[in-house]
Structure 1
Amino acid sequence: MDRKRLLEVTELKQHFRVSKRYTVKAVNGVSFVIHEGETYGLVGESGSGKSTIGRSIIRLYQPTSGRVTFEGVEISGPLRGKEQALLRTKMQMIFQDPMASLNPRKKVIDLIAQGLDIHKLYKSKEERREKVYRILDKVGLSREHADRYAHQFSGGQRQRIGIARALIMEPKLIIADEAISALDVSIQAQVVNLMKDIQEETNTAFLFIAHDLSMVKYISDRIGVLHLGYLVETGTTKDIFENPVHPYTKSLLSAIPLANPIQEKKRVAVPYDYATSGIDYALGREQSLSNTHKVLATDEELASWT
C-alpha cells in the first residue's frame, strides 16, 4: 500500500543577496517528496545547499520562491496561526553541533521540555517531568540526567538530548542536519540505530542531511543527490548505489573507501568537473527514467551518458 505524502517540496529556491551586484543562489528549483514513516537522504559536497534546504523547509529561512506543503498545508508563504502551530509542533530539527544548540544555563529537563512550555502541552509539573522521563528512556539516557547541564555530557549524549528535544513534540517529520558528522564513528552508529528504532516505533519521517554516503545508504529509503544547489538525481537507495546515472553521482560513489584493503588499493575515484562536463544545470530539466529514479538532465546529455 502506498504511503501518504507528508512533505512536498516543489521548485524551492533560496537566494541570498550579498550586495547590490551579487546574489548567492544557494538552492535552485529543488523538488522532492517525503512520505510518512520514510527516511529521505540528501547528499552532496560541502556548499551544495543541503543544510539550506532543511532550514528553508522549517522556515529558519524565508524561501525565495517555490512551494512547500506539509500534511496538505502550504508552509512556504506567510504563516498564520494554524500553519505556525503545525510547523512548530509536527516538524522538528536536529542540528549538527549539539552543544551550540543547547542553552548551557538550562538543565536537561528544561532543554527537552522547552517545546512543551511554549505550546503549553501539559497540565501539571508532574506531567511535564514524566513526559521528559519517558523521552529520556527512549533515547537511552537515565532519568538522573534530567537535572544535569549540557556541558556534563559527551558529544553522543548531547546529540541524544537533541533527539529527545525533537521527539517530545511527537513530530511527523524530523530534519536531521548533519546530525552525526561531529561524532566519533562508533557513536555515529549508535545514534543512527537509535533513529531507526524510533522510526519503527513512532512512524516518524526523517530528512537525513549528510555527506557520508555509507551512513546515508544504511538509513535511507530514498536519496537525493545535490550539486551546486540543483537536485541532479533522486531515486531509491538501491537505484542510486547500483545504477547511478548522473556523472556527479558516479563520482561521489567512487570516492567511498572500501573496507577490504585489497579492493581499496584497486579502487579508482572517478573525477567530475562541472566546468568542463558540458552539462548546464540551469538549462536541464527533470526527466523520469523509471517510476522512482530521476535525473536532472537534457535529452542530449542523457544520450551521451549511456
Structure 2
Amino acid sequence: MTEMENREPLLTVKGLKQYFKVSSTYTVHAVENVSFQIYPGETYGLVGESGSGKSTIGRSIIRLYDPTAGEIMFDGMKIGGKISRADSQKLRTQMQMIFQDPMASLNPRKKVRDIVGEGLDIHHMYSSSEEREEKIANILQKVGLAPEHASRYPHQFSGGQRQRVGIARALIVNPKLIIADECISALDVSIQAQVVNLMKDIQQETGTAYLFIAHDLSMVKYISDRIGVLHLGHLLETGTTAEIFEHPVHPYTKSLLSAIPEPNPIVEKQRIAESYDYKTSGIDYNKGTDHLVSGTHYVKCTDEEFQRWI
C-alpha cells in the first residue's frame, strides 16, 4: 500500500452530499459527507445494507445525478459541478458503469453487436465498419463470449452471459474506472464467481480500476484491495481488506462481519452475531470525524468514541 499511496489517486471524492427533495417540507439525505480515493488499477469495495446510499454514490460520481455538494476529481478533472463539453466527452469514455440488472440495462430491441458497439458509434472510435466489427469481436472474446453471439438479442442469453455483455459494453471504450453497481447480486453463486474472476483477469490485463458496490462481504473481500463501510449515507470506516476484516473498529462494521456464516458447522454453531441499532447506540454520525487507526485505516467517530473503541 505504500507504493500505492505514493501515486496520484485516479478518483478523489471529498465531502460528497446527495439530497433528493421529495416535497416542499421533506428532503431525503441519501449521501452525507462521504470522502474516499481510488488509485489506478485497484478495486475499492463499497459495502452496506440496502438503502445506505451505495448506488447513489456510484451514480453521483458518474454524473447520472448532479451532486448536491462536495468535490469529485477524476484523472485531474474536476467533475463535481458543471463541466465543459471536452471534459464531459473525456469522462464518458474513461468512466463506465456496469448496472445491477443485466436484463433491464440492455436494450431488448438491439442486437449485442449494436449494444456493445454503441460507445464506439457515439465517440467515433473506429475508421471503418470492418474495424468496428473487429473491436466488437475482440471484446466479446475477452469476456468469454463467441463472436457469433454479436448477432443475438439479450433475451437469447442466460443471466451470466447478459452480464458479460454489460461488461463488454463498459470495456470497449478502454475506461480507466468502472463502477460495478451490484453487478453480481442478480446471478447464481457459481455464475457470480465466474463474473468476478473475469473482472479480476481483465483488471490484470488492462489496469482498469473498479468501484465495486456489493452486499456480499465474502465477494468484496475476494476482489477488493480496500473497503469502505457505508451506513445511512455515512462512510463509517475505510481501510485495506485485511484491516477491515481482521481489525474492525466501528460497531456497525463488527455487526456486519459477525453476520457472515461459517462453512465449518462446528464453528457456525458457536458464532454469535452482534446486533447494532443506530437509534439506541448513542452514536451521532453527524458529529463524527475521521480518526486514523493505522496505515490507511480510518474510522468516523467522535474523540470519546474513538478512545472507547480503541
TM range, normalised to the smaller chain?
over 0.9
1:198-209 to 2 correspondence within 5 Å? Answer: 198-209=202-213
CA distance in 1, matches of 2:11, 2:307: 32
1:300 aligned onto 2:304: yes
1:253 corresponds to which of 247, 257, 260:
257
1:6-21 to 2 correspondence within 5 Å? Answer: 6-21=10-25
Shift of 1:3: 3.5
TM-score by length of 1: 0.99
SS at 1:15 equivalent: strand
1:88 aligned onto 2:92: yes
2:108 corresponds to which of 101, 104, 109:
104
SS at 2:286 equivalent: coil
Residues 156-165 or 277-286, more deviating: 277-286
1:243 aligned onto 2:247: yes
SS at 1:289 equivalent: strand
Paired position in structure 1 for 2:199: 195
CA distance in 2, matches of 1:178, 1:65: 25
1:54 aligned onto 2:58: yes
1:133 aligned onto 2:148: no
1:1-306 to 2 correspondence within 5 Å? Answer: 1=3, 2-306=6-310
Shift of 1:79: 2.0
CA distance in 2, matches of 1:36, 1:198: 14
CA distance in 2, matches of 1:99, 1:87: 25
Residue 96 of structure 1 aligns with an amino acid whose one-letter code is: Q
Shift of 1:50: 0.2
Shift of 1:76: 1.1
Partner deviation per Cα, 1:259-303 (whole Å, 9 max, x = no partner): 111111111100001111111000111111222000000110112
Residue 124 of structure 1 aligns with an amino acid whose one-letter code is: S
CA distance in 2, matches of 1:105, 1:262: 52
Partner deviation per Cα, 1:115-136 (whole Å, 9 max, x = no partner): 1100111011100000000000
CA distance in 2, matches of 1:255, 1:162: 31
SS at 1:282 equivalent: helix
SS at 2:105 equivalent: coil
Gaps of at least 5 residues in structure 2 are none
Residue 91 of structure 1 aligns with an amino acid whose one-letter code is: M
- Say whether the 8 Å CA contact 2:291–2:306 is kept in structure 1: no
CA distance in 1, matches of 2:117, 2:7: 31
CA distance in 2, matches of 1:305, 1:74: 36
Shift of 1:4: 3.0
CA distance in 2, matches of 1:302, 1:5: 27
Partner deviation per Cα, 1:217-251 (whole Å, 9 max, x = no partner): 00000000000000000000000000000000000
State the Cα RMSD in Å: 0.7
Partner deviation per Cα, 1:17-61 (whole Å, 9 max, x = no partner): 001110000000000000000000000000000000000000000
Residue 32 of structure 2 aligns with an amino acid whose one-letter code is: N
TM-score by length of 2: 0.98
CA distance in 2, matches of 1:75, 1:261: 49
SS at 1:26 equivalent: strand
Partner deviation per Cα, 1:82-130 (whole Å, 9 max, x = no partner): 2101110000000000110100010001000001100111011100000
CA distance in 1, matches of 2:266, 2:8: 45
% identity of equivalent residues: 71
Gaps of at least 5 residues in structure 1 are none
CA distance in 2, matches of 1:46, 1:52: 11
Shift of 1:145: 0.2
